[in-house]
Amino acid sequence: MSVRPGAEPYSHDGPRKGSGKGATGVVLAHGFTGSPRSMTPWGQHLAAAGYTVRVPRLPGHGTTWQEMNRTRWQDWYAAVDAAFRELDEKCDRVFVGGLSMGGALVTRLAEEHGPRVRGLMLVNPAYKVEDARLRALPALQAVLPSLPGIGNDIKKPGQDEVCYDRIPLKALWSQTKLWATVVRDLPEVTQPVLLWHSTDDHVVPASSSALLLSRISSTDVTEKVLHDSYHVATLDHDAPRIFGESVEFIERLS
């Protein structure tokens, strides 16, 4: 299956472990029905700062929504887990960051890998959605393949995260299982957390970030509010701020 132009994964190699330069790695995960395009500018900024960066393309993304309907959350997690394990071998320390569902995936990394994850950077992370239609999802996904999409919730004109215009319902049903798994184990998160959330997000409610903050065990937590971006803030007006503050966060903890 061919990958859509702009949806390719991004990779950059910086100093390696033992080089004497304090090698730092960062794994960034994109959101549900999105693509690496939403995270690549952030990854490029981190690469310019001297870090080794991986932005994997999650299985089923960046091709067709029909293909995505044949994937499940375990497939998406396996991709970010493989990227993390690679950088854990190459680098002295590894940070992880995620947008929307990507935030849930990297939170799962923190739950499973413990202190091997040096810090969490989350942009409008998704652990829940307040939509009454989700109650019908178990039955709906068995008879209806998709619904209209939710992508490109971006305030800044001219931006495109290379996403699907349909929501594949079997995949969405699986995402709800991811949420349940991650939320159950949130008390296992002890790493430093840098959280950004938008005041105007038309995809993920503010209660999702509140749920994270109420359940994690981390003591080093920084919450940032974005007033000039919608859901895909990594491509929006506040993107330069996110990029700069992420470098400050990484440098402080390195």
State both tokens at 59: 């299985």
CB 39 within 8 A of CB 10: yes
CA distance 97 to 30: 9
Would residue 35 show up in a list of annotated catalytic residues for this protein?
Answer: no
- Selected catalytic residue, list 81, 153, 201, 238: 201
Would residue 197 show up in a list of annotated catalytic residues for this protein?
Answer: no
Neighbours of 35 (CB within 10 A): 27
- Selected catalytic residue, list 231, 236, 238, 246: 231
In the chain, the largest separation of any two C-alpha atoms, in whole Å, equals 57
- Selected catalytic residue, list 100, 146, 208, 246: 100
CA distance 102 to 34: 10
CB 110 within 8 A of CB 96: yes
Determine whether 14 is exposed, middle or buried from the number of CB atoms within 10 Å of its CB (0-12, 13-18, 19+).
buried
Active site residues: 100, 201, 231
